[in-house]
Structure 1
């Protein structure tokens, strides 16, 4: 199964994802394909909606101190729910669905999340640091929220202007001429 990352401003990114009720081979195929897509795109997290599936499914694979991503450290979350959050932090975030754009976003410093694994088993995790930020970022995707939606009005307007310019330049360079 080959997946393509959905990019802003695609309206599917605003869609709310539905809970997963069947933990079957189709879900496993989706998870495995998402993992390959995330790694090949140099991502550390990916929500199913980012590859066109409106399901409450996300992956996280935070690199180790050598910047390596091992399948052993892969976290697959199905139907995640934040049950506790505390503290505040600001982190410069990027997104596979909003390529080449990074912006400071305010998040909770720590989160506790209940979720299910690929087989439907209930799990929970307490996270801080980059893992906490990545979890919140990916859960936002499941709710149709992009990190750029969290920007102030003026920063959002600046983003829109810069992003449109970047897309225009990308179009020109792909075609070799102005369209």
Structure 2
């Protein structure tokens, strides 16, 4: 078990990992305001429970786990589909994934990602949107790497089917 990290270190680590958490929350929710609410709730949970951080995973991974859990709670509570962001996202807010989604194909892909089952969507957004490794995604989602690979494969198949692309092995299963 790691030594306690102390409140000052928690504050420093939160500031360090906040941009990634907010960016990921935007991808999860599809909406800046909702993403800010998710991150705010995650920060409240971190500040209430920072003493429970055991150091088994990096602080950033622990923080992302909390963001995922807050979003799951929000979705469970509201029972809604993730909204599709409006066309023409402001350039100051755009990221490479959003810029790629500007065209018709991008919009179809975004819609297909939004309709994925929660776990597949979370895996896809962590790996494709955040550049997480399969190991990091597994840690954040408290899953095995094998499960992450499976979810990613299933997500690719669903997206390919939704946009009308013949994905390899699509016809075998």
- TM bracket, shorter-chain basis: under 0.3
More helix by share: 2
Q: Please give the TM-score of this superposition, normalised by the length of structure 1.
A: 0.26
Q: Please give the TM-score of this superposition, normalised by the length of structure 2.
A: 0.26
